[in-house]
Amino acid sequence: MPAQRWTDDEITVLEKSIQEGLSPESIARNLDRTASAVHAKIKALQSRNRNSPWTQQDVETLKAFANEQHPIEVISLKMGRSPQAIKAKLEYESVVENARLELSVEEKEEYQRLQSLEKSYQTRGFLRAILAFVTQSDENLSKLELYKLRDLANQGSDMAVIAAKMGTSEASVRGRLVHSGVYNQYLVKNHAAMISKLSKLEKKLGLENSADGDAIDPAAVLRMIEKGEGLHTEFKATYRYNTKAKLLNCPLVKNEVVKAVSGFMNASGGTLLIGVKDSGLPTGIFDDDLDTPDEYIRHLLRFMQDCLGRVAATLVNIVIVKMPSGEEVCVVQAKKSDKPIWCRNSEFNSKKGFPKDQDIFYVRHPATTEQLTGQDAHAYFSRRFLNV
């Protein structure tokens, strides 16, 4: 005989009973079910979302449940994740929320003391060093490295500079900042430091009002970011990774890139910066999961060619620029086209329920890229493309 299906009312009673601290055996008696059936149902409810990535909405819901002081077991049921996963996520979010990049007054004093102690250890004689090793009298200096990392990161120092001063790799520095929950704070500090340095250098050289050069380097990218998005500039956080859904190769995200590029071509040209948030913070293209700059450029160019055509692909220049923070930004310069550039993205069309071979016409306006159809498209063609 098949097991009796659980009703919504029974699941509500189950959640309420767990919140009241009742045992599975007591719940089983109240629901007229076996203890094994209750155990199985609890396990099923707690694992229904175990393979799904955490979204920002999930995190906000989790925090709300925690603030309402729901027991871990109840949150586990409501969110479909194991109690262990709930605890781990709460602990991680707590680390991030309470993470502090800047050293406190007490930490600065301790940092200076440990620096002095380290210096004295380094300058002592051979016999004293041997004696200290035998007696194990040296103080543990493990905190010194963490203080040094936070101090350099808080100054906005370049990732390469931090790595060199700490005698390690950039990847190691980045990993430690992420693990400490202060990586985003570091990016903000580094961005502000670079803008300040650039401004002082331009002032010193008398270049404040000079026209932008053709070179695409970190300074040029910072200048574009400072000007913000507009008729000739747009920012995208990623090329193919959906940061909210935690999904790689997302058709909706990828379409935003070809939409922006074709919009520039159909207007007066422009530059797309991939790896820069709407806020202007350069967070890099790491999440797009392409191993090398060359691979990234080839992948992106092939996608543009597939969606916009071979002619359009000749109108773009793609460069990967390594920023002082260590993050890489993809700069896509799109030239003004003499002919209409249509976008045919079959994956996007399927996702939206359009015919796979449907062509879409995009055009850049002062602060956004829009799709034109019907009379609007015809009027724009007549005005913009003389041969149409």
Residue range 128-156: average pLDDT? 76
More confident residue, 325 or 294: 294
What percent of the chain lies above the pLDDT cut of 90?
34
Q: What is the pLDDT, as a whole number, of residue 135? A: 60
The dihedral over CA atoms of 335, 341, 346, 349, expressed in degrees to the nearest 10, equals 110
Which strands sit side by side in the sheet containing 270-274, from one edge to the other?
233-236, 270-274, 328-334, 316-322
Which residues face 322 on adjacent strands?
Answer: 328
Compute the radius of gyration of the chain from its Cα atoms. 28
The residues with which 275 forms a beta bridge, in sequence order, are: none
Range list for CATH 3.30.950.30 in the chain: 216-384
Q: How far apart are CA 173 and CA 180, in angstroms?
A: 11
Choice between 56 and 230, residue whose per-residue pLDDT is larger: 230
pLDDT tens sequence across 38-83: 888 888 888 888 777 788 788 889 989 888 888 888 898 888 888 8
Decide if 345 contacts 363 (C-beta within 8 A): no
pLDDT for the residue 54: 80
Q: What is the pLDDT of residue 223?
A: 85
- The predicted-structure confidence for 94-120, as pLDDT tens digits, reads as follows 766 777 888 989 999 998 998 888 888
Residue 184 has pLDDT above 90, yes or no: no
Q: What is the mean pLDDT of residues 215-221?
A: 83
- Reading the block at residue 209, the tokens are 């009002």
Tell me what the mean pLDDT of segment 171-199 comes to.
84
| Structure confidence at residue 138 (pLDDT) | 59
Give the fold, CATH level 3, of 216-384. 3.30.950
Torsion-angle region of 110 (φ positive above 0: left; ψ -120 to 50: alpha; else: beta): alpha
Q: What is the pLDDT of residues 9-41, one digit of tens each?
A: 888 888 888 878 888 888 888 888 888 888 888
pLDDT at 235 over 50: yes
Question: What integer pLDDT is reported at residue 388 of this predicted model?
Answer: 46
Q: In one letter, which amino acid is 255?
A: N
Q: Considering only 130-139, 244-253, 270-279, 366-375, which range has the smallest mean pLDDT? A: 130-139
To 10 degrees, what angle do helices 24-31 and 35-47 make?
Answer: 110
301 Cα distance to chain centroid = 22
pTM: 0.64
Q: Is the pLDDT of residue 208 over 70?
A: no
Decide if 159 contacts 194 (C-beta within 8 A).
no
Using a pLDDT cut of 70, give the percent of the chain over it.
90
Calculate the CA 8 to chain-centre distance.
38
- Whether the CB-CB separation of 326 and 225 falls below 8 Å is answered with no
| pLDDT exceeds 90 at position 285 | yes
